[in-house]
Amino acid sequence: MKQFAIPNIYRSRLISAIKNKRKLEDKLKKDFTPTLLDFGVLKIYLARHFGFCYGVENAIEIAFRTIEENPGKRIFLLSEMIHNPQVNADLKDNGIEFLQDTYGRQLIPFEELNADDVVIIPAFGTTLQIQDMLQSKGIETEKYNTTCPFVEKVWNRSAQIADKGYSIVVHGKPKHEETRATFSHASSKTATIVINDMQEAIELAKYITGEKNADDFYQEFKGRYSESFDIKKDLVRFGVVNQTTQLATDTQAIADYLKQVVKKYYNLTDATVQEHFADTRDTLCYATNDNQTSVSALLQTDADLAIVVGGYNSSNTSHLVELCDKKLPTYFINSAEKIIAPDEIINCNWQTKEVTVVQNFLPAQKPARILITSGASCPDALVEDVIEKLVGFYASENDIEEMLGSFL
């Protein structure tokens, strides 16, 4: 896989050594067992896959290269580059201004832009409407487009099945940048609707089968469907694609459920189901799959608690917290600074985003057993900081440097 030139401040000698060793031992990436960091009185288990993915490293490389190549120019980002506070803060410190917030609210009017400005499209992509607007101003977009290739893969697959007469159901968070972008691209080709979760898929299915009054659809899913969407016609043939940072298992479950509804309603077989339902499982992001599968394997370890590191508005990170939270006490932090003391941590609720102080989070018994992972937009350096902070609370038999040596 391509190696990206990203700032060293995001790298970690320890994490890089661990990942390189695991890669050499498991070139086909079939072993999802965690990596044990044995500090004696503290045992830390790291997920097999975590941290920056291909799309994130690509975006960061392009952003910092853009800064170097355009001295004296005004440089803007459409919105957050990725959902990580450190990376976004670093970009701001380097002079980049954000045009919108993560929900699409305007921070700087587009009217203030001119052809001499540089505008970077973030890893989530953007809508066709914004892209066309920038190009109409003479602003070059392709050179500074950091859209993740796996997001573009979803767009391309949507276009392919649209050409075959299918409509699109997007599984994603309706307000998320990536979902808005995917909806824009899909709806330019065919009738498109966004659903948030399995419960909405179940309700949508009732319109397919006629169990619910068709007229009620337009209010229930208001703001989620493309112009001129016809509930009586546009879900006769469709496929499901996703916001790539959603739980892959959730997307697959939704697709499988809707497929079975269609199969039963139209009395189809496995051989004929494609007449009404397109197979789109190949759009699921490899990094999202690997990180989530790694967490599932991590949770097979007998442990006292889990720590997930990443931006609080990061969808993929929140889903990792969700998985861990079902099994054992889990703390969602965006930096080692949130670990205040051996008996105090500042935790973010992955659902409400409420931040609270939790007392006595570390176990009293020894050795303490802690699971750690991070989101796809979290620098490895932050994970090492968390490990170092935890090790400092214990009379450990070895330190970070000694642990590093065991992986070199």
Q: How far apart are CA 263 and CA 354, in angstroms?
A: 42
Amino acid, res. 208: I
What is d(CA 385, CA 308) in angstroms, rounded to the nearest whole number?
Answer: 13
Q: Are strands 305-309 and 277-278 parallel, antiparallel or unpaired?
A: unpaired
Give the residue among 104, 123, 238 at the shortest CA–CA distance from 180.
104
Phi, psi of 213 (to 5 degrees): -65, 125
One-letter identity of residue 30: K
Alpha-carbon distance of 162 to 187, in angstroms, equals: 9
Catalytic residue among 57, 80, 177, 178: 178
Q: Whole-angstrom Cα distance, residue 268 to residue 237?
A: 13
Three-state SS at 210: coil
> Does residue 178 carry a catalytic annotation?
yes
Say if residues 97 and 109 touch (Cβ distance below 8 Å): no
Q: Which tokens in the block code for residue 86?
A: 């450190």
Q: Is the peptide bond before 367 cis (omega within 30 degrees of 0)?
A: yes
d(CA 184, CA 146): 17
Percent helix / strand / coil, the chain, rounded to 5:
40, 15, 40
Active-site residue list: 178
